[in-house]
Amino acid sequence: MLYILLSICCSIIVSVMLKLAKRYHIDVYQAVVWNYSMAVFLSWLFLKPKLVHLSGAPIVNYALLGLLLPSLFIVIGISIKQSGIVRTDIAQRLSLLIPIIAAFLLFGEHNSLLKSVGILTGFAAILCTIPWKTSGVVGKVGANAWLYLLMVFVGMGLIDVLFKQIAAFKAVTYGTSLFIVFVLAFAFSLAGLVYQVAAKKMKFSWPHILIGWVLGIANFGNILFYIKAHKALADKPSTVFSAMNIGVIVFGALIGLIIFKEKLSLLNKAGILIAIIAVVILSIS
């Protein structure tokens, strides 16, 4: 359970750093770019990629992930700024509904009554946590907050499907695939940074390299400890899955409500409880 707790902590640290970005005038894009440089280094150090026998590897999936990961990181940062940590974390965790639906719509997996109940419960949680109001009891949220939450939900779901597809390709180890994806994510995001600086649309900032490295350590730590938790509890994958997702929702809610004073309506608070129930049902199914 220590690995699960560490993974949860790393995930929350990423959310908190993105939440504090505006307060400390941090350019999220530049931080995200250097975050992936650290991810490349740490994945090489800890995952021991084997860059041989890559013929037939799912290159298209690698490229899509390389583009989606940094892009969604930016969207998550905007969503946290617009909607807060609580709602954004729930949108991320409930994105698991997309690969579950894809499993029996695209990959022929058998559906069950319990799984259907879990999916419907998850969608109910999403509807409850959307900031339907932009003022009043819900607190200060952006006018397009719901759109960014939707993008987080769909984007995380697509990324999960793509990762599941590359995990199914046994000729290349998962650690090697992760390393390649991080290299591509860094290359694509760095190219974007160079273009924006050259076009004078952005001013390069050296301190963002260090900020990005700290973000990268937390981001990679989330992945590494999650993998280690699955290895340590190989016979209890549902325990790891549910504990991780519920932990992030609960701790994220506590951080958002207590430290950042995020305001939620009664419907939003009910959504948190329903989200936890949905995760439990889906992990059992």
pLDDT tens string 9-22: 999 999 999 999 98
Residue ranges per structural domain of the chain: 2-284
| Residue ranges in the chain assigned as alpha helix (H) | 2-20, 28-46, 59-83, 85-94, 97-105, 113-129, 145-167, 174-198, 207-232, 237-254, 266-284
Whether residue 70 is predicted with pLDDT greater than 70 in this model: the reply is: yes
Tell me if 14 sits within 8 A of 215, measured CB to CB: yes
Cβ-contact 95, 157 below 8 angstroms: yes
**pLDDT of amino acid 108:** 66
Provide the mean pLDDT of the chain.
88
Q: How far is CA 228 from CA 75, 84, 152, 284, in A?
A: 28, 29, 26, 21
> What's the predicted TM-score (pTM) here?
0.88
Residue 191 has, within 13 A of its CA and on its CB side, a CA count of 9
Residues 6+ apart with CB under 8 A from 161: 98, 99, 102
**Which one, of 84, 140, 9, lies nearest residue 271 by Cα?**
84
According to the per-residue pLDDT averaged within each range, which of 81-85, 102-106, 236-240 is highest?
81-85
- State the pLDDT at residue 139: 45
